[in-house]
Amino acid sequence: MNAPFVPPRPAPPAEPPGLPAFLAAIRTNAIGVWGPEAYEREWVTGRAIRRPWILLNAPEAIQHVLVDQRTAYRRTPASIRILWPITGRGLLLAEGEAWRWQRRTIAPAFTPRAIRLLLPLMMEAASAAMPALAADASSGPVDLLAAMQHVALEVATRAMFSLDAARFAPDLRGELGRYALRLARPTPLDLVLPPQLPTPRDLARLRFRRRFVRLMDAIVAARAGQSAVDAPRDLFDLLRAARDPETGMAFTPAQLRDQIATLIVAGHETTALALFWSLYLLASVPEVQERAAAEVAAADLSAEAVSTTLPRLELTAAVVNEALRLFPPAFTLVRQARADDCAGGVTIPRGSVVMIAPWVLHRHRRLWRDPDAFIPERFLPDAPPPPRFAFLPFGAGPRVCIGAQFALAEATLVLAAVLRRFRVARAEARPVLPAPVITTYPDHAPGFLLRER
Ligand code: HEM
């Protein structure tokens, strides 16, 4: 058997980075802050900008922060600054009672049963995207990052909100792309000032926010204008009908808009990256691609059959999971300690920044065999499960990703649709390196050759 493929990655720094290198890394490639010891130890600590930080790899410590003592930790000022212009007060940034109510309201739309009902829609959207991909491919190398962002946006908007993405996708993708290039990158002041004190970069973020709110309001108005039905038929109807059990209040129009923005953005950027990295890995290892393509060729990908088909796409799903392990779109979960604490034997002073980094955990030397190698078989149903709290692409605990099952189903079905139709190869030899800022983007959008099977 050939040695497994080890996708290239930036070499970890030999020494813990000093402040300038640390600041440069979190602005351009945040995984560059982890030295080799991070991938070996149960925890690592340091100080940056007068604040202690702690990276946790031990399961008891992770369970303590994300599950058992969750309310003793909050999102950091920098996360709030960077995410708020997009998500506003939607589920991702909500806290306390407001979070509980929002989560309870949205959860019914993401139960396994609700997702099963959405599978035909996801399959239709995936299949509908293939002719455009074929047209693109006929004129040369294809940018699969952009293509997957497009498909994932289409699936998210159609499946959750019965919206046709074509009308607003260019504006939405344009705004998010510009935001990611500059405003999403934290400045030193973003890291130290409390959220209520605006930094110069926040003023530019506020201008972005005004434009983004106008765009989202137009999207919501387009959906609200669609003919009303008696029973809720999608997440939009469910959100609009929701009432707080204690106060009887509905979401205000601004809250409804923030919720929809949160779900569209959180739901499509990350899934698009999972798909991009899955395709990159399969293009790099044709032998695995052919096995996955054979699995897909034997499956019925019609919308009517999809709920029976999905559980049978075992290798295709395993490739998605292995891509989520090697290139977790949410590469670090960051929290700030509200008070002095101790997590799994690690002392955590009040105000420390606590990090649980799927990027590190998923490549930890003591948790995984061949941690840097692409071995999708480790996620096949008969393989032993990963160690506890070692595989966290969707986080853990009460704030675990609400869309995890939606994303896994979508990524498996879209990948299946691509493999059914195309043989995917790299168009160039230049290495593709992860360069995470908010999510695990590649350092460039490489070209791929797609040949019809
Ligand atoms: C591969 C795709 C995805 C990945 C890797 C991912 C990852 C994550 C992670 C790690 C968290 C927890 C963050 C934390 O604890 O700090 C999270 C939360 C969240 N995700 Fe996802 N996500 C994905 C897809 C989706 C989808 C499809 C949706 C919606 C349709 C979604 C909506 C959300 C929301 C609303 C939250 C906040 C939940 C809360 O705080 O209660 N995500 N996601």
* pLDDT given at position 51: 82
**341-343 and 73-74 beta bridge pairing:** unpaired
By most ligand atoms within 8 Å of CB, the mutation choice from 104, 258, 270 for ligand 1 is 270
Distance 247 CA to ligand 1 centre (A): 28
Does 400 have pLDDT greater than 60?
yes
Residue 45 structure tokens? 């600590």
pLDDT, residue 49, reads: 76
pTM of the predicted protein model: 0.95
| CA–centroid distance, residue 419 to ligand 1 (Å) | 26
Ligand 1 pocket, residue 403 CB under 6 Å: yes
The pLDDT value given to residue 229: 61
262 C-beta closer than 6 A to ligand 1: yes
- Domain ranges within the chain, ordered by starting residue: 19-452
Burial code of 244-281, b = ≥16 C-beta within 10 A, e = fewer? Answer: eeeeeeebeeebbbbbbbbbbbbbbbbbbbbbbbbbbb
Question: Mean of the pLDDT values across residues 414-420?
Answer: 98
65 within ligand 1 shell (Cβ under 6 A): no
Tell the burial category of 225 from Cβ atoms under 10 Å away from its Cβ (0-12, 13-18, 19+).
exposed
For residue 428, what are the contacts with CB-CB under 8 A and spacing of at least 6? 141, 446, 447
Q: Could you report the per-residue pLDDT of 110-130, keeping only the tens digit for each?
A: 899 889 988 998 999 899 999
Specify the pLDDT at position 228.
Answer: 62
Task: Classify burial at 9, counting beta carbons within 10 Å of its beta carbon; exposed 0-12, middle 13-18, buried 19 or more.
Answer: middle
416 pLDDT tier (thresholds 50, 70, 90): very high
pLDDT tens digits along 26-77: 777 888 889 999 999 999 998 877 788 999 999 999 999 999 999 999 999 8
Select the CATH number that applies to the domain covering 19-452 from these four: 3.40.50.1110, 3.90.800.10, 3.90.700.10, 1.10.630.10.
Answer: 1.10.630.10
Q: Is 335 in the pocket of ligand 1 (CB under 6 A)?
A: no
Nearest CA to ligand 1 atom 39: 399
Ligand 1: distance of its center to the CA of 92 in Å?
Answer: 8
Q: Rounded to the nearest whole angstrom, what is the distance from the C-alpha of residue 172 to the centroid of ligand 1?
A: 19
Confidence at residue 4, expressed as pLDDT on a 0 to 100 scale: 96
Task: Give residue-wise pLDDT tens across range 210-264.
Answer: 999 999 999 999 888 886 665 557 888 888 888 877 788 888 999 999 999 999 9
Residue 364 has pLDDT above 70, yes or no: yes
Q: What percent of the chain is modeled with pLDDT above 70?
A: 98
Average pLDDT value over all residues in the chain: 92
The atom number, within ligand 1, closest to the CA of 160 reads 30
Q: Which residues pair with 130 in a beta bridge?
A: none
